[in-house]
Amino acid sequence: MRHLHPHVIWEEFLKIAKEEAGSQVVETWFKAVSLDAINIDRQEITLIMPNSFVSNWIQEHYHSLLVTHLKRLLNTASIIIIFAGPQTEKRNVEKPVDSTELNHLMPTFRPATITKMGSSQLVPHTTPTKPREQQPLNELYTFDTFVVGPSNSLAHGASYAVSQSLGTVYNPLFIYGGTGLGKTHLLHAIGNEAKRQCPDIRVRYETSDQFMHDFIRAIRFDKAHQFRDRYLSLDLLLIDDIQFFSNKEQTQETFFHIFNALYEQKKQIVLSSDTFPEEIKGLQSRLTSRMEWGLVADMQTPDLETKIAILTKKAEQHNITLDDEVSHFIASRVHTNIRQLEGALIRVDAFASLTGQTISLALAKRVLLNFNEPRPQTIDLHDVASQIAKKCGITMADLKSKNRNKDVSAARQIACYIMKKLTNHSLQAIGQFLNGRDHSTIIHAITTVEERRKADRVFAGKIQRLEEEILNR
Ligand code: ADP
Ligand code: MG
């Protein structure tokens, strides 16, 4: 009989959701959800929701995404999804700072909702459920489980120092870096470590998105003051992915007051973002400058050794045996994102256990056949740029210039796309190379090329050949 690990299925779902709905959606809504049980005979699965807010949101917005893909992943004709509340025995439940107010703000928590193919009905579930106002800290994200290497040692060291003496060493601590490099992990690690040392401490972890949604909700219920007060009693505030505050004036205003009040009381603030403060578009300058008051620490792409060390650690955590050859192979297949590294490991392990084999190099190669191409270390931005300029019949100076001529812009966009794909450089670095363009311009260029590739096969072929030529140069 086929054995289905809920964990593996959920990981697969997350990957698909990321592609279809975007990584922000996955981070904000699905990351705190877990797939608890699969009952194939009854075509039923149970999802554990961290709180009512997330539960309702997911049911309202992502119901068909769940049904479509879980049906396919489980190979069933229909599926019943049970949305259950948090299992108190499994997770460490934080005391709400002000639960009465929260109950007021939150939609009534439906203890468990069962949905079948689009129709929803309320059915009580046996799991005891409590409303919870905030995202719990992920117990797996600790300093113990974090592998330190040259790419993250500054951010790690600063985080650890902060956890040892809140509010005194670096305040605020601002961590920035690309997706999947460990920012969220470090934020949770600070929270977990501070709590371990002093269990009574008031810690709050939020993504900026969650903060904003709560804030909007508070305004709607005329509770903006209470919203603010909830934060003022904290000892440690961790806000993840602060770049999403961009252009949210009112949210920024409130955050500014919270920031000031906490800072004055010497309470610790830790923020993360995908870029450094000044690069966050649409952020009030008084906020930007405050974010730079403490320490700004970056996280870089890990080198091969660090990737192997992380993989080894993850394998241990999942009770997976990997020999050196296999870890080396997997690590070399994943270029930047550590989350992908974990995904590759889980994929290899799932395949091995589904087919009853042990993990070997041959098996890993087969599973990761189309995962990522090995990337020569030697390609740099200049190589890509000069090849593309040559192919497109323009000069390097044109490519870097502000020239908006159609052909030049097109070549520049293709250059951005290929640079991101074939080199290890960050969006910022690419922007820098292209005469100080900002990273949102680079993202825009990359998206434009991606969309055109999907729509235009001739264009896609042209890009593919360009890539090959650059790789085989
Ligand atoms: P980010 O928030 O920067 O996008 P995350 O913190 O979510 O990245 O990290 C993605 C995954 O990679 C998580 O599962 C995390 O545990 C893991 N990870 C990242 N860096 C490390 C590291 N240095 N050691 C161990 N695991 C790591
Ligand atoms: Mg994150």
Q: How far is CA 441 from the centre of its chain?
A: 21
Please report the atom of ligand 1 found closest to the CA of residue 178: 3
Which residues does a 6 A CB cutoff place in the pocket of ligand 1? 141, 145-147, 152, 177, 179-185, 310, 313, 338-339, 342
For residue 203, give the H/E element and its range: strand 203-207
Integer Cα distance of 60 and 376 in angstroms = 45
Q: Which of 82, 190, 200 is nearest to 138 (CA)?
A: 190
Q: How far is the CA of 460 from the centre of ligand 2 (A)?
A: 31
Q: In Å, what is the CA distance from 262 to each residue of 183, 209, 413?
A: 22, 20, 43
CATH level 2 (architecture), domain 6-105: 2-Layer Sandwich (3.30)
Integer Cα distance of 32 and 41 in angstroms = 27
- The pocket of ion ligand 2, defined by CB under 5 A, consists of 183-184
3-state helix, strand, coil split of the chain in percent (to 5) is 55, 10, 35
Q: Which strands, in side-by-side order, build the sheet including 295-299?
A: 203-207, 236-240, 268-273, 173-177, 295-299
pLDDT at res. 188: 98
The listed CATH number (1.10.10.1150, 1.10.1750.10, 1.10.490.10, 3.30.2390.10) that belongs to domain 381-471 = 1.10.1750.10
Answer yes or no: are the C-beta atoms of 17 and 30 closer than 8 Å: yes
The answer, yes or no, to whether the previous bond of 172 is cis (omega within 30 of 0) is yes
- Which one-letter DSSP state was computed for residue 12? H
Among protein residues, the one with the nearest Cα to ligand 1's atom 14 is 339
Please report the atom of ligand 1 found closest to the CA of residue 313: 25
Q: Which of 296, 269, 259 is nearest to 177 (CA)?
A: 296
pLDDT at res. 112: 46
Q: Which residues contact 66 (CB under 8 A, 6 or more apart)?
A: 13, 47, 58, 81
pLDDT at res. 3: 55
- Which one-letter DSSP state was computed for residue 29? I
Please report the atom of ligand 1 found closest to the CA of residue 140: 16
Query: Which two tokens mark 119?
Result: 């129709």
Q: What angle do CA 227, 230, 231 make, to 5 degrees?
A: 100
Query: Which two tokens mark 198?
Result: 């002093």
Please report the atom of ligand 1 found closest to the CA of residue 302: 23
Integer Cα distance of 246 and 283 in angstroms = 5
Answer yes or no: are the C-beta atoms of 343 and 371 closer than 8 Å: no
Q: Which of 332, 328, 365 is nearest to 347 (CA)?
A: 365
The residue ranges of every structural domain in the chain are: 6-105, 153-299, 304-367, 381-471
pLDDT at res. 118: 33
Among protein residues, the one with the nearest Cα to ligand 1's atom 26 is 146
Among protein residues, the one with the nearest Cα to ligand 1's atom 5 is 182
pLDDT at res. 120: 34
pLDDT at res. 179: 87
Q: How far is CA 244 from the centre of its chain?
A: 13
**Domain 153-299, classified CATH 3.40.50.300, yes or no:** yes
The pTM (predicted TM-score) of the whole model is: 0.59
For 304-367, CATH gives: 1.10.8.60
Burial of 256 (0-12, 13-18, 19+ CB in 10 A): middle
Task: Identify which of 30, 188, 339, 346 to mutate to test ligand 1's pocket (most ligand atoms within 8 A of the CB).
Answer: 339
Burial of 86 (0-12, 13-18, 19+ CB in 10 A): buried
Q: Which strands, in side-by-side order, build the sheet including 34-39?
A: 34-39, 44-48, 80-84, 112-116, 119-122
Among protein residues, the one with the nearest Cα to ligand 1's atom 6 is 182
Q: Which residues contact 19 (CB under 8 A, 6 or more apart)?
A: none
Among protein residues, the one with the nearest Cα to ligand 1's atom 13 is 339
**pLDDT by residue, tens only, the chain of 473 residues:** 345 688 888 988 998 888 878 887 888 788 889 998 888 877 889 999 887 777 888 887 888 889 888 888 887 778 888 888 876 433 333 333 333 323 333 333 334 444 433 333 333 333 433 333 567 899 999 999 999 999 899 999 999 999 999 999 999 999 999 889 999 999 999 999 999 999 999 999 999 998 998 898 888 888 888 999 999 999 999 999 999 999 998 899 999 999 999 999 999 999 999 888 888 889 999 999 999 899 999 898 888 999 999 999 999 988 899 999 999 999 988 877 898 898 899 889 988 988 889 999 999 998 887 676 555 556 789 889 998 998 888 999 999 999 999 999 999 999 999 998 888 788 888 999 999 999 889 989 998 998 898 888 778 878 877 887 787 66
Integer Cα distance of 311 and 248 in angstroms = 38
